[in-house]
Amino acid sequence: MNHDILKVSNPNIKENPTLKSVYTKRAFPYPLHIGFTTSIPVEIIYAAGHKPIDLNNVFILNDSQRLVREAELSGFPRNLCSWIKGMYSVISKAPTAPAGFRFDSWEGLDIIIGVVQGDCSNTQSLMDILKDEGKKIIPFSYPYDRNKDVIENEIAKLEATFSVSREQTMTMKRRLDVIRKKLILLDEMTWKTNQITSFENHIWLVTSSDFNGDYNKYSNELNIFIEEASNRKPFKNNIRLGFVGVPPILEDFYSFVEQCGARVVFNEVQKQFSMFYLEDDIVNQYHKFTYPYSIFNRIDDIRHAIKERHIHGILCYTQSFCHRQLDILSFKKHLEIPILLIEGDIPGKIDERTKLRIESFLEMICYEKEENLINV
């Protein structure tokens, strides 16, 4: 292996054994494809010149039912969250993913960054399985107590792994913040000027976790979208909803809600993934990120949005077999607003029972609005 080639291709590469062993396996060593299980400091991956890939987005935007089935055929239990099974299949299928995958030139994944604390209770075991199968794994953790020194340390470790300086991370953060400012505008066009649909808000915000692996392209497409949407007449949905919990696995979820005369004007976790904080410091940004820490930071954020966005009710979405189902207890205790818990399992369309529950919930909100029982 001629490492001089790597140094010419990527001046950030130093003598890092993890990266070196990966590079030696690739015909075209640069950039690496870095998969991750939930939001991580993507600035570092871009600063190193690599391609970040949110595995959740690859899973859900492709043949997700088949990917879940394939994981079950590999031995994954039926009573395990479909997102975990889907991510496993995405990783284990690489680099032989079928045509039609989200990335035009899918070349597989070189490294997986697994968030082993602050996201999913299953990730650690998933990483062990993948490691055993010979995948390169890098762990990343968000401390439950939101300790800034620990967050700083995790970010510094990731920078060291990819041989990126803090200055390089910050330069990339400033570039990405330009895109984030446009996403803030898109979000305002959702709840202030009412020109963006529930699904459009969801998809733009959720895909900003990796900017679809190419932030320049994402930024250009976002410009075009905002330009087109700014010429729309405002939507006139009667009921304004908040959506909390994990992003839905149900493909027609948002369109069904809109068919019923409501619109989601706040996608809580997706907005968190978009990092609207525009902080001067990378550590502060990931410290403000509410999703991986205690539920109480999320509740403050949701409460603020309910007031600011004049939200009439909350749809709380969780996955079957997910520990986050317990969050509903705290939401119901601390949010004084109608809340409906929706549970999804396998990818696909909403079942009739869930449709009925959503319809009944929205009828109840309509009644309470007419009777002035909702104070917004």
Residues that bind ligand SF4 (CB under 6 A): 81, 83-84, 119-120, 122, 246, 319, 322, 324
**Cα separation of 190 and 185, whole Å?**
9
DSSP 38: S
Q: How far is the CB of 241 from ligand SF4 (least distance, A)?
A: 20
Cβ proximity to ligand SF4, 29 vs 292, nearer residue: 292
Instruction: Residue 125: count other Cβ atoms within 10 Å of its Cβ.
Output: 13
Cβ proximity to ligand SF4, 113 vs 246, nearer residue: 246
Q: How far is the CB of 321 from ligand SF4 (least distance, A)?
A: 6
Residue type, 102: R
Instruction: Residue 17: count other Cβ atoms within 10 Å of its Cβ.
Output: 7
Q: How far is the CB of 254 from ligand SF4 (least distance, A)?
A: 18
Cβ proximity to ligand SF4, 263 vs 324, nearer residue: 324
Task: Outline where 136-260 has alpha helix (H).
Answer: 148-161, 166-191, 198-206, 215-229, 253-259
Residues 6+ apart with CB under 8 A from 28: 107
Q: How far is the CB of 307 from ligand SF4 (least distance, A)?
A: 28
Q: How far is the CB of 119 from ligand SF4 (least distance, A)?
A: 6
Cβ proximity to ligand SF4, 52 vs 86, nearer residue: 86
Q: How far is the CB of 258 from ligand SF4 (least distance, A)?
A: 24
Cβ proximity to ligand SF4, 84 vs 262, nearer residue: 84
**Cα separation of 265 and 370, whole Å?**
20
Yes or no: say if 72 and 85 are a contact pair by the CB < 8 Å rule: yes
Sequence-ordered strand ranges (E) for the chain: 33-36, 51-54, 111-117, 137-141, 239-245, 262-267, 313-319, 339-344
Q: How far is the CB of 210 from ligand SF4 (least distance, A)?
A: 16
Burial 54-75 (b: 16+ CB within 10 A, else e): bbbbbbbebbbeebbebbeeee
